[in-house]
Amino acid sequence: MSRERDLLAYFESQAGFAVDLLGRLVSIDSPTSDKEGVDRVGTLAAAEFRAAGAAVTSIPQQGAGDVLRAAFGSEPDTTDGRGALPFRGDAEPPAPARSALLLGHFDTVWPRGEAARRPFRVEGALASGPGVFDMKAGIVLCVLLARAFKERVLRPRLPIVCLFSGDEETGSPVSRPRIETEARAARYVLGLEPCNPDGGAKTARKGVGRVIVEVIGVPAHAGIDPDKGVNAIEELAAQVLALKVLQDRAAGTTLHAGLISGGVARNVVAPQARAEFDVRVPAPEEWKRLETSVLNLRPRNPRARLRVEATLTHPPMVRTAAIVSLHEQAGRVARQVGFSLGEGSTGGGSDGSYCAAIGVPVLDGLGVEGEGAHAETERVRLDRIAPRAALLAGILEQVESA
Ligand SMILES: [Zn+2]
């Protein structure tokens, strides 16, 4: 039997534990805005990691759920005294002190009370409930790996760090610096976000941007003094159409007006109007092109004033040669476990995007197969927990760098 098949057999023997833990995690509501709920998930996860012998640190965050760091797969440096982390296991040289980073999050998009309304349920090989796919099943995978290490089943090549944020669903505004710090110390990052519909990994993510255009006009009576006014709504309408031209579908860049507001009354020339755009870009150059054009917008009506804001909230995760190599190595492991690991891109950003942007190769979407992220149809395949855990374990045993 191959090594990967051994790992698979081990994780299959843990199925009862895995489903039970998944149920406990899903039963705690953890919307991003609810720090207390997110921290309750963190407390539960921390206890599981501690029981599995991991070194666990809770990193307090202001205005968001605390970040949890669980490290295992290396022993305290008692041998060479030069800071190199000794390698556990065979007679190989000590690995340099750089980790494999596993990335997840505790928050979900579901409000408080959702777990009571739509409780965790197992039907055959499927489990449903809020956040089961995005991404409480991914947390279970990490705990399984820590337990496998404790039970001396898993023999990783690098020290393993699992890092969980509590504000991923809103773009990790609070935890992002911590994620980036940890990524800088990593050789590669494995993201436990939901996989693509075919089970494939995510090797590219579009960058996500926000553009705000605000027009300041001049109020006037629409019936008596229309020419004294400057209509901000009319100016904004022209700007919305001008901006839409910047979209480049062939390049993969989309721009879409999602919010618009303005005016004070029907019979008043609108003194103010504002629109907010969602932008998706495949590469940093595309964002540059768009940003430059946006910041150079000029009012059509010279008496109107424009206030323009362009923010890249998630940098694009570009499919670099290193990411391709990481996916190829993971693909070999998957075949040994008994399945094929495809790849694909997605229009959405994640914490993995931040890691990729600082130059660390990221393979994302390594969570358990399922469907319906952010939807009431959300479910996960329980029979895929063991193969996905075996895939991760195999990667950690075989892949030293991208
Ligand atoms: Zn997620």
Q: What is the mean pLDDT of the chain?
A: 94
How many CA atoms are closer than 13 Å to the CA of 362, on its beta-carbon side?
A: 34
Lowest mean per-residue pLDDT among 17-21, 96-100, 217-221, 344-348: 96-100
Domain count, the chain: 2
Q: State whether residue 311 is helix, strand or coil.
A: strand
What's the CA-to-centroid distance between 271 and ligand 1, angstroms?
Answer: 41
Predicted pLDDT of residue 77: 40
Predicted pLDDT of residue 28: 98
Predicted pLDDT of residue 305: 98
Looking at the structure, tell me whether residues 9 and 142 fall in a common domain: yes
Q: Is the bond leading into 317 cis (omega within 30 degrees of zero)? A: no
Residue 280 pLDDT grade (very low, low, confident, very high; cuts 50, 70, 90): very high
Looking at the structure, tell me whether residues 149 and 72 fall in a common domain: yes
Looking at the structure, tell me whether residues 145 and 281 fall in a common domain: no
CA distances from 253 to 209, 256, 346 (A): 11, 10, 12
* 154-195 residue pLDDT tens: 999 999 999 999 999 999 999 999 999 999 999 999 999 999
Q: State whether residue 258 is helix, strand or coil.
A: strand
- Point out which residues pair with 160 in neighbouring strands: 72, 100
What's the CA-to-centroid distance between 38 and ligand 1, angstroms?
Answer: 14
Percentages helix, strand, coil for the chain (3-state, rounded to 5) are: 35, 25, 40
* 53-62 residue pLDDT tens: 999 999 999 9
Residue 85 pLDDT grade (very low, low, confident, very high; cuts 50, 70, 90): very low
Predicted pLDDT of residue 1: 61
What does the pLDDT average to over 352-360?
96
pLDDT at 76 over 50: no
What's the CA-to-centroid distance between 29 and ligand 1, angstroms?
Answer: 15
What's the CA-to-centroid distance between 168 and ligand 1, angstroms?
Answer: 7
Report how far residue 74's alpha carbon sits from residue 71's, in angstroms, rounded to the nearest whole number. Answer: 8
Residues with CB under 5 A from ligand 1 (ion): 134-135, 193
Report how far residue 367's alpha carbon sits from residue 351's, in angstroms, rounded to the nearest whole number. Answer: 14
Looking at the structure, tell me whether residues 102 and 145 fall in a common domain: yes
Residue 74 pLDDT grade (very low, low, confident, very high; cuts 50, 70, 90): confident
Domain's final residue, options 314, 332, 355: 314
81 or 272, higher pLDDT? 272
- Note down the domain range covering 298: 207-314
* Single pTM value for the model: 0.88
What's the CA-to-centroid distance between 162 and ligand 1, angstroms?
Answer: 15
Looking at the structure, tell me whether residues 155 and 275 fall in a common domain: no
Contacts of residue 372, defined as CB under 8 A and 6 or more positions apart, other chains included, come to: 133, 378, 379
Helices (H), 14-152: 15-26, 35-51, 114-117, 137-150
Predicted pLDDT of residue 267: 97
| Secondary structure of 174-206 in HEC code, one letter for each residue | CCHHHHHHHHHCEEEEEECCCCCCCCCEEEEEC
User: Which pair of structure tokens corresponds to residue 322?
Assistant: 């290193």
Looking at the structure, tell me whether residues 168 and 219 fall in a common domain: no
Helices (H), 251-384: 284-295, 321-337, 351-357
What does the pLDDT average to over 384-401?
97
- The CATH number linked to 296 is 3.30.70.360
